[in-house]
Amino acid sequence: MKVTVRLFAELRERTGRSSVILDVPEGASGTELWRCLSQTCPALTTLGYRPLLAKNGHYVSWGEPFEEGDEAAFLAPVGGG
Amino acid sequence: MNRRILLQQEPIDISYFTWLLGDESSGAQVWFVGTVRKDADCEDLLYLEYEAYEQMALEILEEIVLEAAGRWQLAGWVVVHRLGRVPVGEASLLLGVSAPHRAEAFEACRYLLERLKAEVPIWKKEVGEGGGRWKANPEAPSGEGTAPSGAEGAGL
């Protein structure tokens, strides 16, 4: 299945991409998405912290399963204000 | 309408929003203005560059505001966060709440601010003469849960 992963801020800059479409097995977890994303974008392996994960605009744990058409986002610790 | 949650590129017109929040049932308005400053970490700071996951940021802000509104009986609120380049000295954030009494208004404003800084997906990059670097808020968590095997090389 295909899952779109959106990237912002530091992750966007490191990868040079604001979104990546991953082809992963049905029900893949956030952990599996990250593994696949890190292979596609090796610059993420030296990030130095574990990003937060969002599914369709809501924070979820890395164990969360994803389905076809879901939007994932790996997010750096926030800095608003 | 005295209820607004906005992300905008334009400078924040504080007087306009102050006018917007007025209503006849509130005895108190509390405002917070966050401004861009130079600090010891970045003395040559020129500006901050803000970026947001806009749809998610707006949804979380709405959830937080509605929770606060129920808890402190807020009559109105204004949350405006600026995105893009914000020069030193200018406002990056405007928060305002109105409530029947001051105690509720103060508490609600502080609550909104702390939740925003910890949870809302907005990021800032400090840009000085020597380049830029992303800076997280001290209160903002990173990802939790068991260490993802794919992140082993990330020094986690």
- Which residues, 6+ apart, have CB-to-CB distance to B110 below 8 Å? none
Q: What is the ipTM of this complex?
A: 0.96
Measure CA B41 to chain center: 21
| Residue whose C-alpha is closest to residue B45's, from B12, B89, B83 | B89
Q: How far is B75 from chain A (nearest CA, A)?
A: 23
pLDDT in tens, B46-75: 999 999 999 999 999 999 999 999 999 999
Q: Model pTM?
A: 0.92
- Beta strands B45-52; A58-60: pairing state: unpaired
Interface residues from chain A to B (CB-CB < 8 Å): 6, 8-10, 12-13, 30-32, 34-39, 44-54, 57-59, 61-63, 73, 75-81
pLDDT tens-digit series, residues B84-111: 999 999 999 999 999 999 999 999 999 9
- Phi/psi of residue A15, nearest 5 degrees: -90, -20
Residue in A48, A54, A62 nearest the CB of B148? A62
Phi, psi (rounded to 5 degrees) for B33: -120, 120
Give the confidence band of B151 by pLDDT, cuts at 50, 70, 90: very low
Interface test with A, best of B7, B37, B58, B123 (most A CBs within 10 A): B123
Q: What is the CA radius of gyration of chain A?
A: 12
